[in-house]
């Protein structure tokens, strides 16, 4: 594993290094506790940012979530590619799908601002278990691929079952998204295996050729 994307973690109690992965950044004073780790032997970190997205009624009335996205720009030391990785957490099911689509699109715009024409991977809890076919079509229209895992990522409860956690990407070939065994979270983690797409433009950084690189992420 080269990248680790976390949601709903205790950001105030995260180690700087875990399993050989370096903490890139984490949200501050945010109940969602987003964080992203990267393998230093594989990547150099160029920059890291946290972003606020449009709030839902749940955020305004109950406990607010200030930052729903963190993004990290990385230089791949094995391939000279530049990669932007994001850890994302959408509004809960009390919000509308249209609001979550707005948040997803806004998150993509923020990550695009970290570097145009750079391979991008965003992993997280999208809270979008229904009508994913429609969401996939909308993502394709905006230049992103949406990749669901091989099994459901939330199975507790009678009604709210399905693929809550998945990945969106651009400039990458997603080889596999695997749902891993349940841990302490009520969501099952996912493992994303990806290669850089042939002909991907690295925004002037790297050689722009396709390489057999495999940035990996767990959300």
Which CATH number does the domain housing residue 93 bear?
Answer: 3.60.10.10
Burial readout 65-78 (b: 16 or more C-beta within 10 A, e: otherwise): bbbbbbbbbbbbee
What CA–CA distance (Å, rounded) separates 21 from 3? 8
Contacts 24+ apart (CB under 8 A), 24-28: 24/48, 24/72, 25/49, 25/50, 25/70, 25/72, 26/70, 27/66, 27/67, 27/70, 28/67
pLDDT per residue, tens digit, the chain (219 aa), is 899 999 888 888 899 999 999 999 998 867 678 999 999 999 999 999 999 887 655 555 556 567 889 999 999 999 999 999 999 998 877 778 888 899 999 999 999 999 988 999 999 988 877 667 888 898 888 889 999 887 765 666 555 666 677 899 999 999 999 887 765 566 688 899 999 987 555 554 433 322 233 444 433
Residue 164 lies in a domain: yes
Residue 32 lies in a domain: no
Residue 203 lies in a domain: yes
Q: How far is CA 173 from the centre of its chain?
A: 15
Residue 31 lies in a domain: no
First to last CA, the chain: 12
SS3 200: coil
Residue 96 lies in a domain: yes
The total number of residues shown for the chain amounts to 219
Q: Which two tokens stand for residue 99?
A: 């609001």
Give the domain extent around 99: 39-218
Residue 19 lies in a domain: no
What is the count of structural domains for the chain? 1
How many CB atoms sit inside 10 A of residue 213's CB? 18
Residue 17 lies in a domain: no
Residue 33 lies in a domain: no
* Pairing label, strands 69-76, 82-89: antiparallel
Q: List strand residue ranges (DSSP E) for the chain, in order.
A: 3-6, 17-18, 21-26, 35-39, 43-51, 69-76, 82-89, 119-125, 145-147, 165-170, 172-179, 190-196, 216-218
Positive or negative, the Cα torsion across 93, 98, 101, 106?
A: negative
**Radius of gyration over alpha carbons of the chain, in Å?**
16
* Pairing label, strands 3-6, 35-39: antiparallel
């Amino acid at each position: 594993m080269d990248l680790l994307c976390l949601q709903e973690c205790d950001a105030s109690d995260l180690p700087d290094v875990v399993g050989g992965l370096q903490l890139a950044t984490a949200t501050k004073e945010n109940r969602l506790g987003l964080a992203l780790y990267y393998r230093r032997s594989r990547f150099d970190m160029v920059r890291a940012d946290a972003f606020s997205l449009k709030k839902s009624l749940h955020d305004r009335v109950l406990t607010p979530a200030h930052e729903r996205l963190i993004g990290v720009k990385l230089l791949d030391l094995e391939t000279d590619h530049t990669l932007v990785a994001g850890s994302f957490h959408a509004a809960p099911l009390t919000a509308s799908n249209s609001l979550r689509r707005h948040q997803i699109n806004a998150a993509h715009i923020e990550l695009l601002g970290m570097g145009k024409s750079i391979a991008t991977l965003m992993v997280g809890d999208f809270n979008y278990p229904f009508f994913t076919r429609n969401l996939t079509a909308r993502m394709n229209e905006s230049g992103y691929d949406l990749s669901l895992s091989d099994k459901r990522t939330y199975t507790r409860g009678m009604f709210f079952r399905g693929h809550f956690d998945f990945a969106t990407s651009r400039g990458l070939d997603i080889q596999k998204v695997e749902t891993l065994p349940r841990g302490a979270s009520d969501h099952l983690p996912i493992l994303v295996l990806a290669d850089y797409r042939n002909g991907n433009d690295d925004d002037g950084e790297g050689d722009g050729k396709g390489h057999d690189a495999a940035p990996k992420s767990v959300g």
